[in-house]
């Protein structure tokens, strides 16, 4: 059974930093891609960053150069992190970690398609305001 639990959200002023973490129990899907998505009030969920089992990362244009996704280990129990620097008000939203799988195999994540994520955590709120 896959379980994802995010924490680390909070309120920060523009220009500030936060680090989010996601405690992941992945069972047989430990080598699957993992990602961070976010959703602002009244907007669709959007992809932020992806990391694959080899450590290759992909970022949305809006966060490239400011956010860093990382994972401590490719194992059934691991922690996914998102270091967020130089935050601005447009970064406000609920942040979710996710993992992609299809049936009993890994699937490919797409930052443009939240439906590519098979499992979500409950989310952690990030608010950027002066």
Q: What is the pLDDT of residue 53?
A: 94
Q: What string of pLDDT tens digits covers the 130 residues of the chain?
A: 899 999 999 999 999 999 999 999 999 999 999 999 999 999 999 999 999 999 999 999 999 999 999 999 999 999 999 999 999 999 999 999 999 988 888 999 999 999 999 999 999 999 999 9
pLDDT on residue 39: 98
Say what the pLDDT of residue 103 is.
85
Per-residue model confidence (pLDDT) at position 32: 94
In order of 10, 13, 18, 97, the CA distances from 51 in angstroms are 23, 27, 19, 11
**Which strands sit side by side in the sheet containing 77-84, from one edge to the other?**
3-7, 18-25, 77-84, 67-71
**Model pLDDT, residue 104:** 86
> CA nearest 119: which of 48, 53, 22, 9?
22
């Amino acid at each position: 059974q896959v379980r994802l639990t995010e924490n680390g959200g909070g309120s920060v002023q523009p220009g500030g930093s936060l680090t989010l973490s996601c405690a992941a129990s992945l069972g047989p899907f430990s080598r699957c891609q993992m990602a961070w998505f976010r959703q602002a009030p009244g907007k669709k969920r959007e992809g932020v960053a992806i990391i694959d089992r080899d450590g290759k990362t992909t970022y949305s244009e809006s966060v490239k150069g400011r956010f860093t996704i990382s994972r401590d280990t490719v194992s059934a129990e691991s922690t996914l992190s998102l270091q967020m620097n130089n935050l601005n008000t447009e970064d406000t939203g609920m942040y979710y970690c996710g993992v992609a799988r299809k049936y009993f195999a890994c699937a490919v994540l797409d930052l443009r398609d939240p439906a590519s994520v098979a499992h979500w955590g409950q989310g952690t709120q990030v608010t950027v305001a002066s």
